[in-house]
Structure 1
Amino acid sequence: MSEAIDAFLAMLAAERGAAANTMAAYRRDLEAADELLGDLAGADRAALAGLGNAWSTLAPASVARKASALRQFYGFLVDEGLRKDDPSPALPRPATRRPLPKILSHAEIEALFSRAEREAEGENPPAVRLLTLLELLYGSGLRATELVSLPLAAVPRDAPFLTVVGKGGQQRMVPVSGRAKQALGRWLAVREANTKFLFPSRGNHLSRIRLYQLLKGLAGRAGIDPAKVSPHVLRHAFATHLLEGGADLRVLQTLLGHADIATTQIYTHVDAARLVALVNERHPLAERRRGG
């Protein structure tokens, strides 16, 4: 069994460029299913249908993830000629509803930047670094890991773009706004020299955990609930506010580094929810209901 799983994971790495964390998650799900079934590679439809009971205490999203891993695994076995049939249609298909991402309002974004800019006025290195991190999170939509691990070589010289290595080792170019470029220039003037990372820390780069802590601290000082602010929330704000401004969904997909347009489409739901709330609040009939 382990040989089949190893072969499947090797295919994910070679053909799809799957990241180490992704492959570790697939391995956990496949090996857990193998323990339940006894023979994952040879399991029939009845055995797979029975997994619904074994997974009954799990959240729908967890069941969907496990079932997806198994479907891909059996597809691989069929493609490689290791099985003649694909039993995966018998797997449970829980109804899942992807939660809408948290976003910050324009006023909250303004409060964050106002506070960060005031703190960076004296060219204090930690304050300038925080302003630069904020500019790149909200101005370029980077993931936390992409941001903290940026090499110095990724900083643009003439072209207004950053070269970013995203999920699965995929490279993409992301724009750097004029504001962010100014912040980068200020940071490069005060940052620690002789290190390959743009945001160095103790011989390595700034950690994701430290980035979270810095942003939550800034939120508190700006009068915003720290629970509302994280690197991913700023990425969501970048995407949602661009969409509100008329950005094309395909362009947004490229900027965010999404492999599948379906992932980007979640932002259309966010925008739709905002429009519904606007109608409910501002429509003349809403005024009549409140008056009554």
Structure 2
Amino acid sequence: MTDFETYLQDYLQYVTVERGLSQNTRSSYQLDLTAFFKYLRAQEITSLDQVDRFVILAFLGDLEKAGKARNTVIRMVTSLRKFFQFAHRNQLVAVDPMLQVDPPKKGQYLPAVLSIEEVEMLLEAPDLTTNLGVRTRTMLEVMYATGMRVSELVNLTFDNLHLDLGLIQTVGKGDKERIIPIGDTAAMWLQRYLNDVRPLLGREQDPKVVFLNDHGHQLTRQGVWKIIKQLVAAVGITKDVSPHTLRHSFATHILENGADLRIVQELLGHADISTTQIYTHISNKRLAEVYERSHPRAQKN
């Protein structure tokens, strides 16, 4: 094992044991740092003490030249900043090179949002004559009704469901727990799935998990992504749709129908309201599009 691999393993052990970070966050750090160490080896850099701000800036420049998204570069900077803080505290480097690297400005990113009609098309796409079709319809109804992250959805357990109260309990980023209302329609589908389908899918492998695949195992994030991509293609939606798109659509639609931004922040589990404000930009953009299409004097003759 090389020094870089040892440093990576020590760091991942630290964020797991001492900081208690989620598996998703640990995986992101591992992916980013593996790419960085690969770059260092390609540059024949064999020691962390050889890394200065110019090495890091050259690495980030290579990422941008390779066409990496701005948010990917920002995430890389965060990963490197956290790692070198750890390295400096543990005397692996004499000077933290990230102290001289400014974070890149976050790009204005408006996520894809489905119209209400497109959401209806997607919800009605599963084949309800099959058990998996009922499961998929239920899964989509819950995602759109609650705005849950896909990681929260696949980790739902029976203990999280309080359907008699119209509520779902979930744990989001940073192990932050929140209670989300669930509408009558999604609750009805959940009840149908739990009564008629879930007992047939479960083969005792995951007795507490709500959503299972056809092998009786816990449904994965990748599994949900694959299911949604297949349905989107089947109904002819041309937008770039992912599981997160239903979360974006949930937030945008309730804002457009008069929900307060602070309420949306709580429903989505955002720590900072500035994260939620992206949806006001989406609403304003959609408003402008409707105006351009609808007003008789909005378009040039």
TM-score by length of structure 2 reads 0.76
Pick the aligned partner of 1:243 from 233, 255, 271: 255
Label 1:210 to 1:276 Cα distance change in 2 as closer, same or farther (>3 A): same
Pick the aligned partner of 2:26 from 19, 23, 26: 23
Aligned length: 284
1:164 corresponding residue in structure 2:
170
**CA contact under 8 A between 1:52 and 1:91: conserved in structure 2?**
no
CA deviation digits over 1:134-170, x for unaligned, max 9? 2101101122232233222222153222122334544
1:263 corresponding residue in structure 2:
275
Give the CA deviation at 1:244: 1.4
2:121 corresponding residue in structure 1:
111
Quick one: which amino acid aligns to residue 190 of structure 1? D
**CA contact under 8 A between 2:48 and 2:93: conserved in structure 1?**
no
Label 1:275 to 1:14 Cα distance change in 2 as closer, same or farther (>3 A): farther
DSSP 3-state at the match of 2:65: coil
1:204 corresponding residue in structure 2:
217
CA deviation digits over 1:263-292, x for unaligned, max 9? 3332222112112223333445415x2xx3
Most deviating of 166-175 and 233-242: 166-175
Label 1:192 to 1:114 Cα distance change in 2 as closer, same or farther (>3 A): closer
Pair 1:69 & 2:79 matched: yes
Kindly report structure 1 stretches of 4+ aligned residues shifted beyond 6 Å.
none
Most deviating of 232-241 and 163-172: 163-172
Provide structure 2 residue ranges, at least 5 long, that are not aligned to the other structure: none
Label 1:226 to 1:8 Cα distance change in 2 as closer, same or farther (>3 A): same
Provide structure 1 residue ranges, at least 5 long, that are not aligned to the other structure: none
Pick the aligned partner of 1:254 from 255, 261, 266: 266
Label 1:84 to 1:129 Cα distance change in 2 as closer, same or farther (>3 A): same
CA deviation digits over 1:33-84, x for unaligned, max 9? 3434432256333443443555453325343332222222233445667667
Label 1:251 to 1:12 Cα distance change in 2 as closer, same or farther (>3 A): farther
Cα RMSD (Å) of the superposition? Answer: 3.3
TM-score by length of structure 1 reads 0.78
DSSP 3-state at the match of 2:120: helix
Distance in structure 2 (CA, Å) of the matches to 1:256 and 1:157: 19
DSSP 3-state at the match of 1:88: helix
1:234 corresponding residue in structure 2:
246
**CA contact under 8 A between 1:67 and 1:93: conserved in structure 2?**
yes
